[in-house]
Amino acid sequence: MRKKWLPVILAVSVMLILSMTFAGNVAAKKLIIFAGGPAGGTFQVVAQAISTYKPVKAMDYNIKVQSSGGSTENLRKVNSGKAHFGTVYSGHVYAGRNGLMVNDPTKYENVLAVAYLYEAPAQLVVRKGSGIKSVKDLEGKKVGVGNAGSGAYAYCEQFFTHLGVWDKIERNAMGYNAAADAFGNKQLDAFWLFTAYPSPAVIQAATMNEIELVDLDADAKKYGFYDKYKNFVAWEIPTSDGRYRGLDKNVGSWVDTTLLVANPKAPEDLVYGMLQEIFTEEGLAWMVSQKKTFKAMALEKGVKGIATPLHPGAEKFWKEKGVLK
């Protein structure tokens, strides 16, 4: 009888040992928090794409993605150490480090640059035939201004305040997908985005309504926005490619650079190793497979738009590659 049960007992014992070993290995991995963004935004795609790339997952760290409001929330999370990594606009990294954030004199000095990712244009969606040709025409209108705590919200406030309309609109703080739904249901007259082109939320809005994009570059030039805020650059949204239904001409806008950032306590070997895996032919192909926006990423552009200190792991990597002199 004992001989009959011996193989079963041995098999169960082996399974228990293996499961305990596996659990021990998982537990041994240090937890790393990566702050992403709101649903429908590219920040969340960045975090998911990097953290789920197999060579990065194979590293000795357990990377967990947390959704967030976006750029300004990520700035504060990374600075406080609540997140090890995050995606933040270059303008916010610079302003935060120097105590120049709107209504916030705090100096966020624990946010270190890791890499350039892509450029994000401002986009203002209105209905075709609405008569809204400028931000100035939004006075008295219902406008989706982005999630509170997001880069979109902060830049909308900055731009609209500069043009004198921030306090003259009915502001609705919400994410891109929610804004597209509200716009489609005629609950909004317009909605603002600051995200990579093309935006799924704008594509969604264009399937429900005939849309137009306001020429924000024209407003920026006319009202001296570029003269006051040097980090923003004129840009042309390539809407002639047909990805926003009904639009067949490019539209003027302005952009900021999107950066991957890290807290100083993010392990140097992880930062270095992450860059080593992502900035390869295979790694960049993986990023593009997650979103075509990441075609902007390239080894030679790794420190583009960075005007603040680098994380030591990033500095080591970019110097080794000859990108940083």
CATH number of 290's domain: 3.40.190.10
For residues 32 and 16, give the distance between their C-alpha atoms in angstroms, rounded to a whole number.
Answer: 28
Q: Are the C-beta atoms of 290 and 45 separated by less than 8 Å?
A: yes
Which of residues 229, 257, 285 is at a domain's end?
Answer: 257
The reply to whether 51 and 133 lie within a common domain is no
Q: Residue 267: inside a domain, yes or no?
A: yes
Q: Residue 124: inside a domain, yes or no?
A: yes
Q: Residue 146: inside a domain, yes or no?
A: yes
For residues 61 and 34, give the distance between their C-alpha atoms in angstroms, rounded to a whole number.
Answer: 12
Q: Residue 304: inside a domain, yes or no?
A: yes
Query: How many other C-beta atoms can be found within 10 angstroms of the C-beta atom of residue 312?
Result: 15
pLDDT of 186 above 80: yes
| pLDDT tens track for 114-127 | 999 999 999 999 99
Instruction: Note the pLDDT of residue 260.
Output: 98
pLDDT of 100 above 60: yes
The reply to whether 37 and 161 lie within a common domain is no
Q: Are the C-beta atoms of 192 and 202 separated by less than 8 Å?
A: no
The reply to whether 167 and 182 lie within a common domain is yes
Beta bridge partners of 143: 171, 190
pLDDT of 40 above 80: no
Q: Are the C-beta atoms of 252 and 218 separated by less than 8 Å?
A: yes
The reply to whether 270 and 205 lie within a common domain is no
Q: Residue 9: inside a domain, yes or no?
A: no
| pLDDT tens track for 173-183 | 999 999 999 99
The reply to whether 253 and 133 lie within a common domain is yes
Q: Residue 210 corresponds to which tokens in the numbers above? A: 């005939």
| pLDDT tens track for 248-299 | 999 999 999 999 999 999 999 999 999 999 999 999 999 999 999 999 999 9
Which of residues 222, 257, 292 is at a domain's end?
Answer: 257
Q: In terms of Cα–Cα distance, which of 315, 288, 306 is closest to 93? A: 306
The reply to whether 95 and 137 lie within a common domain is no
Residue range of the domain that includes 126: 120-257
* Phi, psi at 61, each rounded to 5°: -140, 150
Structural domains counted in the chain: 2
Instruction: Note the pLDDT of residue 15.
Output: 57
Q: Residue 16: inside a domain, yes or no?
A: no
For residues 37 and 243, give the distance between their C-alpha atoms in angstroms, rounded to a whole number.
Answer: 23
Instruction: Note the pLDDT of residue 22.
Output: 45
Q: Residue 201: inside a domain, yes or no?
A: yes
Instruction: Note the pLDDT of residue 229.
Output: 85
The reply to whether 133 and 174 lie within a common domain is yes
The reply to whether 88 and 125 lie within a common domain is no
* Distances in whole angstroms, Cα of residue 311 to Cα of each of 16, 18, 84, 183: 42, 38, 11, 41
The reply to whether 181 and 246 lie within a common domain is yes
* Distances in whole angstroms, Cα of residue 14 to Cα of each of 26, 72, 270: 18, 50, 33
The reply to whether 157 and 200 lie within a common domain is yes
Q: Residue 6: inside a domain, yes or no?
A: no
Q: Residue 138 corresponds to which tokens in the numbers above? A: 């939004």
pLDDT of 161 above 50: yes
Q: Residue 219 corresponds to which tokens in the numbers above? A: 């407003």
| pLDDT tens track for 50-89 | 999 999 999 999 999 999 989 999 999 999 999 999 999 9
Q: In terms of Cα–Cα distance, which of 259, 256, 231 is closest to 115? A: 259
pLDDT of 4 above 70: no
The reply to whether 214 and 132 lie within a common domain is yes
The reply to whether 76 and 92 lie within a common domain is yes
Which of residues 211, 242, 257 is at a domain's end?
Answer: 257
